[in-house]
Amino acid sequence: MLENTKQHEPRKDSGEVKAKKHLGQHFLTDLTIAQNIVNGLTLAKNYKKVLEIGPGMGVLTQFLIQNNNYQTYLIDIDSESIIYLKKHFSELEKNIVEGDFLNMNLEEITGKEPFAIIGNFPYNISTQILFKVLDYKDQIPEVVGMFQKEVAERIASKPGSKVYGITSVLLQAFYDIDYLFTVDENVFNPPPKVKSGVIRLTRNNKSKLDCNETLFKTIVKTAFNQRRKTLSNSLKPFLNETLKEMPVFRLRPEQLSVEQFIELTNLLDTLN
Ligand code: SAH
């Protein structure tokens, strides 16, 4: 496979363009890792489009486009990267979009059909990227992304873990998460200060949670904002004296599964 690869040399610091810190630019320079990230897409779900966020110099893109069955879309906020991409991936020209992923109407780019998301994400906005994925969850069957390692671990973590938190619960309500592998600092230019982790999110079959979803989000956020407290303390404003005596409120938020948060929401919904 690799010998057929159209190699696009990752952009070195040749004076052509310098990595911009405020845009979270850390360019991956290891092609084996790039290929492994792209291989993280199972392509098992029924979709024909893949959207890459923050392609930079296209180190992942070069592997993505090898699979002709999929239409590739690229979004980057950096105009210099866009110029570079249009030059090196001219075949994608009309699918290369300049702008801020967070402010985009994705339907205008990919249409109404399902699409997967892939990227070595800018770490400063990675949580916001995932919340946007949730907004489009019924169109996004699969996400493969590289994050700061701690963020990747948190998203993938299970109840009982010290790092289990808001993003774990909100994402695991709709996606199954696999932690794929860890990536070292020294394979980036410039190297970030922290290690990275690659995870895969696979949409589960729930179209809706069995509870008031707005209240569910509020409860998850409120409970974890005081994660050391028991739920009877952190959720006091939502409780009455009778409910407070139930054993579940003696727990701390990190002990609750997604299902238990749903049950809890239904309990509190009767009062609020
Ligand atoms: N995928 C490339 C680049 C990763 S660096 C590689 O692995 O080498 C992160 C990329 O995200 C940069 O190209 C940066 O310009 C882009 N980026 C940063 N903020 C963005 C935003 N809000 N929307 C879209 N792209 C963004």
Alpha helices for the chain (secondary structure H): 31-39, 61-64, 79-88, 107-110, 126-135, 149-156, 166-172, 213-225, 231-234, 241-244, 258-269
Q: Determine which residue's CA is closest to atom 20 belonging to ligand 1.
A: 77
Q: pTM score, two decimals?
A: 0.92
Assess whether the C-beta atom of 109 lies below 6 angstroms from ligand 1.
no
* pLDDT in the model for residue 8: 53
CA of 25 to the centre of ligand 1 (A): 6
Span from the CA of 200 to the centroid of ligand 1 (angstroms) = 18
Helix (H) or strand (E) holding 98: strand 96-98
- Is residue 100 marked as binding? yes
Q: Ligand 1 mean position to 269 CA, how many Å?
A: 41
pLDDT along the chain (272 residues), means of 10: 47 56 91 97 90 97 92 96 95 96 96 96 94 97 97 97 97 98 96 96 96 97 96 94 91 97 95 73
CA 160 to chain centre: 22
**Residue 18, SS3 per DSSP:** coil
Domains observed in the chain: 21-203 (3.40.50.150), 213-269 (1.10.8.100)
